Amino acid sequence: MSADRHIVACGGMSDEHGDVLEGYVLELTGKERPRVCLIPTATGDSRQRIVRFYDFFGTRADAMHLELFDRTVDDLRALLLAQDVIQVAGGNTANMLAVWRVHGIDAILREAWDAGIVLTGTSAGAICWFEACVTDSFGGTDALDDGLGFLAGSMCPHYESEPNRRPVFQRLVGEGFPAGYAVEDDVALHFAGTELHAAISPREGGRAFRIERVDGEVRETELDITRLSRDSPSL
């Protein structure tokens, strides 16, 4: 098992700042032209999302994507374990996890992580790595407690841009939901192994929080943010 296991979980990504966050991920590989695969399952393999992926990564990496709704790849394990980065698109988290489990993607992603392949994603592609999360997969904002479980606890994305997120997450934690992290858009959490290495953002004012229950009360603690720039996207 590689000691260098990385997950970069982004709460939301704008066109203005997304290239800096994605550049940060590419630098984690240490390669001049890494191999990057998009898994767009949460969008239903949206053409628009796939095109956006190639617009960015096509000139900076050996890019490809994996469709599962119109699957043509026989050996999924060989394809994914040949990558340096696996990026997961946002969308419907619950549907994505169900499809992944049918195709065995969940087990392959665990193997990829253990092998040192960088795992990353936005929204659904961020919260899926945790044991639990706050999602709108079911129509309203609610809990999902059967994530992949690579990382302990829970995560909530879009903490400031969607008004239901903060009160729902805090209510859930107050009722016994696993403690975890809340992140605003254009903010990401970088985990090295299973420990939080840094909260990062290229956006001035972007915030991340630790949400936990302490002595029967919900505590929201703001995390220190490392600001990224286009000149220096890495730590």
Cβ distance 151 to 189 under 8 Å? no
Closest by CA to 7, choosing from 88, 95, 104, 108, is 88
Cβ distance 4 to 29 under 8 Å? no
CA distance 8 to 126: 7
Question: How buried is residue 104: exposed, middle or buried, by Cβ count under 10 Å (0-12/13-18/19+)?
Answer: exposed
Positions marked catalytic: 123, 158
Closest by CA to 203, choosing from 162, 160, 169, is 160
Closest by CA to 169, choosing from 209, 211, 131, 214, is 211
Residue with tokens 């065995």: 104
